[in-house]
Amino acid sequence: MGDSRVPRDPLLPTHWFNILHDRPQYLTSAVSRSRLAGAVKAAGQGALLQQPLSLARQSINTADRFIPIPDEILDLYAQYRPTPLRRAVRLEEHLGANARIYYKYEGANLTGSHKLNTALAQAYYYSRAGVKHLITGTGAGQWGTALAYACQLMGLRCTIFWVRSTLRQKPIRGEMMRLFGAVVHESPSDLTEVGRRALKEDPEDIGTLAGATGEALALAAEDTESRFAVGSGENSVLLHQTVIGREAVSQMAQLGDFPDCVIACMGAGSNFGGITLPFLGAAKDSSRSVRLVAVESAACPKLTRGRYLYDLSDSLGTTPVTKIYSLGSTYVPPPVYAGGLRHHSAGPLASAMYADGSLEAMAIDQVTSFRAGMLFCETEGILPAPEAAHAVAGMIDVVSRHPRQAAPLVVLVNISGHGLLDLGAYSRFAAGEIEPVTADEDSLSLSLSALEEFNQRIAEPAEAT
């Protein structure tokens, strides 16, 4: 255990699980910049390419099945990990389910969600590389809060562009980010060209995560001591999140069970990958199978209604262009309360898993998810974040379809964060003021056409230079 300062629970994993070792086919390559020339107005800074080597290597490592977690990160993990894994007995009784329902709870840390698992790792690697300032875009605000706190711990400055629609829903979360020393901007902002362009087109623009990310990338490109930190989608981020699943595999084994089905909500895939990937490894090792279900927002159904094509993750066009399930980076999802599920695309790894049939997807509307969140609160004593409530709703759907006469279904659901800063949304739900919002069809068809056109253009041979 080295010279750890914080006592460590034996269940705390000392290594992250790297799925790329077992499934190197998931390592999708990015479109080269020469092919992109002319197809996208790229800033050309390659901000993600300026990651420290340690992080960049983690995203492409196919050699090591397990990657050691540095001691400094383990000491910080040990303050809140292992996180609880419990059986949801009262929920089972309420549903009359022919199932054993387990949940893993990632909300029991200061910042309130799984996002801290990668925020600590990234702040550590960047500070070791001499970076002084991390900049990011955040949707639900959970990632921004986690990064703000991690930066404070590692002595880094932190700037956050927060999607306008969500920032206005829960200003108190902004107070939390500021408490940890971060500078918080509403996105679109007039600080960057991307933001100014969006505001010029529509001064009332509600913002998107692609836009906030684009603003963060633009600001990060302005000085050499700043870098952009990414909250989800990247392989290295999913890797850091595998502490969730590695713990859960051991905790389920202690309880003498193994899940038939693991369920998590899908933003760009980090909590989904975090809980599911180690179960793929464990299933392989024990010649079992495990069903994986990703639950997305009906307002932003990138898996169930998107295309598997090359697309941008940000509206600036600086991040690598990879093959992903996407609704197109210009799609503006309606302003649902699960801001963390409003990303237009799934990350490359989750997309590759959906493409080869390793995961199933379902889209849930926000009324159904708030109802499930309230039920989980009443029966299990935990109020899930609106994103996590989608996972609960998906799990209830899976369990309710399981035949009565079959053997009980063993399901595990990840409660990726708490909803204690989302009380306003829950109150509006309780007052019957929330609508079951689905995708914006006009924005969707325009955006999908633009995505297809973009793919035709990058398929054409690049001009000789």
- Site for ligand PLP, rule CB under 6 A: 113, 139-140, 142-143, 232, 265-272, 340-341, 385, 387-388, 416-417
Helix (H, G, I), strand (E, B) or coil at 139: coil
> At its nearest, how many Å lie between ligand PLP and the CB of residue 39?
27
Residue in 242, 250, 260 with CA at minimum distance from that of residue 101: 260
Q: Which is nearer to ligand PLP, 92 or 234 (CB)?
A: 234
> At its nearest, how many Å lie between ligand PLP and the CB of residue 344?
13
Q: Which is nearer to ligand PLP, 36 or 345 (CB)?
A: 345
Specify the amino acid at residue 122.
Answer: Q
The single residue listed with the structure tokens 């921004």 is 144
Residue in 165, 439, 153, 199 with CA at minimum distance from that of residue 303: 439
> At its nearest, how many Å lie between ligand PLP and the CB of residue 245?
13
Cβ-contact 227, 233 below 8 angstroms: no
> At its nearest, how many Å lie between ligand PLP and the CB of residue 295?
10
For the chain, the distance separating the N- and C-terminal CA atoms, rounded to the nearest angstrom, is 54
> At its nearest, how many Å lie between ligand PLP and the CB of residue 59?
15
CA angle 293, 110, 131 (to 5 degrees): 90
Cβ-contact 276, 292 below 8 angstroms: yes
Residue in 332, 355, 359 with CA at minimum distance from that of residue 343: 332
- What is d(CA 138, CA 211) in angstroms, rounded to the nearest whole number? 10
- What is d(CA 119, CA 282) in angstroms, rounded to the nearest whole number? 26
> At its nearest, how many Å lie between ligand PLP and the CB of residue 142?
3
In our burial notation (b when 16+ CB lie closer than 10 A, e otherwise), range 28-59 reads bebbeeebbeebbebbebebbebbbeebbebb
Q: Which is nearer to ligand PLP, 97 or 368 (CB)?
A: 368
> At its nearest, how many Å lie between ligand PLP and the CB of residue 387?
3
> At its nearest, how many Å lie between ligand PLP and the CB of residue 457?
29
Work out whether strand 133-138 and strand 66-68 pair parallel, antiparallel, or are unpaired: unpaired
Q: Which is nearer to ligand PLP, 82 or 339 (CB)?
A: 339
Cβ-contact 274, 414 below 8 angstroms: yes
Specify the amino acid at residue 53.
Answer: L
> At its nearest, how many Å lie between ligand PLP and the CB of residue 124?
19
> At its nearest, how many Å lie between ligand PLP and the CB of residue 407?
31
In our burial notation (b when 16+ CB lie closer than 10 A, e otherwise), range 157-167 reads bbbbbbbbbbb
Q: Which is nearer to ligand PLP, 143 or 310 (CB)?
A: 143
Q: Strands of 128-260 (E only): list them.
A: 133-138, 157-163, 183-187, 226-228
